[in-house]
């Protein structure tokens, strides 16, 4: 059964939009792969894309690591007309901004992600970031320092909540999720199980963190065709 958009919005709604909340959204194959052929798109499908749209429509900001931007070729983050209208009716801005996390600032300021963004993008980088790249990106985005050599989870959350973005949606990737999980900054994981066995050398959804034992509680597990949408949150 495929879920309709209104039911999905209800299933993923939060009780208090003013309370800061960091939600991560990932998809993995049945054997735990986060990618096929180097991208997550290969293990998703139309229902997974619909869930992504729903979660974006509920977010104040969408956080993405630069590796994912480069691998997936993220374009401008523009919601569908229906989602934008729903947000406006709910008293939200039509589109959430994207917040890109990068130490290298190896990002193209002319890319659609920045140049065609319906809302000015945010870039969170480090104090040691290349000054020329920083200046070029500052033309098209609001640039913040989130750490000395690497962006720290607490500083990232502080910057975004300080801008009024309490509902934070992180779309990955695995190394950024590792930073967030290692700092115990993740309030919720929306994990879609894709009905595939992938094998190979694909990585998992969480990388670069030391061994953790973070426990989350199941909020729901909703079948959508052969996909399973799970929602786990802090207990």
Ligand X SMILES: NC(=O)c1ccc[n+]([C@@H]2O[C@H](COP(=O)([O-])OP(=O)(O)OC[C@H]3O[C@@H](n4cnc5c(N)ncnc54)[C@H](OP(=O)(O)O)[C@@H]3O)[C@@H](O)[C@H]2O)c1
Count of residues in contact with ligand X, rule CB under 6 A: 30
The C-alpha atoms of residue 106 and residue 45 are separated, in whole angstroms, by 29
Tokens of 45: 């499908």
Tokens of 17: 């939009």
The 178-197 contact track toward ligand X, x by CB under 6 A, reads -x------------------
Name the phi and psi angles at 135, rounded to 5.
-65, -40
Q: What CA dihedral angle connects 172, 151, 128 and 211, to 10 degrees?
A: -90
Q: Please, what is the minimum distance in Å from the beta carbon of residue 110 to ligand X?
A: 17
Tell me whether residue 84 or residue 145 sits nearer to ligand X (CB atom).
145
65 binds ligand X (CB under 6 A): yes
Tokens of 115: 């140049």
109 binds ligand X (CB under 6 A): no
52 binds ligand X (CB under 6 A): no
The C-alpha atoms of residue 64 and residue 233 are separated, in whole angstroms, by 20
The 119-148 contact track toward ligand X, x by CB under 6 A, reads ------------------------------
- Please state whether the peptide bond connecting residue 85 to the residue before it is cis, i.e. omega within 30 degrees of 0: no
Return residues touching ligand X (CB under 6 A).
Answer: 26-28, 34-35, 38-40, 65-68, 71-72, 101-104, 106, 150-151, 171-176, 179, 205, 207
């Amino acid at each position: 059964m495929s879920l309709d958009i209104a039911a999905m919005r209800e299933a993923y709604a939060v009780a208090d939009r003013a309370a800061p909340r960091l939600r991560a959204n990932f998809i993995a194959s049945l054997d735990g792969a986060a990618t096929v052929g180097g991208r997550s798109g290969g293990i998703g499908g139309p229902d997974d894309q619909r869930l992504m749209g729903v979660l974006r429509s509920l977010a104040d900001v969408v956080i993405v690591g630069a590796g994912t931007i480069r691998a997936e070729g993220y374009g401008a983050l523009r919601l569908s007309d229906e989602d934008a209208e729903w947000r406006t009716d709910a008293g939200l801005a039509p589109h959430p901004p994207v917040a890109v996390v990068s130490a290298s600032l190896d990002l193209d300021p002319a890319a659609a992600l920045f140049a065609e963004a319906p809302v000015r993008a945010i870039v969170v980088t480090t104090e040691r970031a290349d000054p020329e790249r920083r200046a070029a990106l500052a033309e098209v985005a609001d640039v913040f320092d989130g750490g000395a050599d690497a962006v720290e989870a607490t500083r990232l959350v502080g910057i975004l909540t300080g801008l009024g973005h309490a509902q934070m949606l992180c779309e990955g990737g695995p190394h950024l999720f590792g930073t967030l999980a290692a700092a115990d900054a993740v309030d919720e994981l929306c994990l879609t199980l894709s009905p595939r066995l992938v094998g190979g050398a694909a990585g998992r959804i969480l990388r670069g963190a030391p061994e953790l034992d973070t426990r989350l509680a199941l909020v729901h597990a909703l079948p959508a065709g052969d996909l399973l949408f799970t929602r786990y949150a802090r207990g």
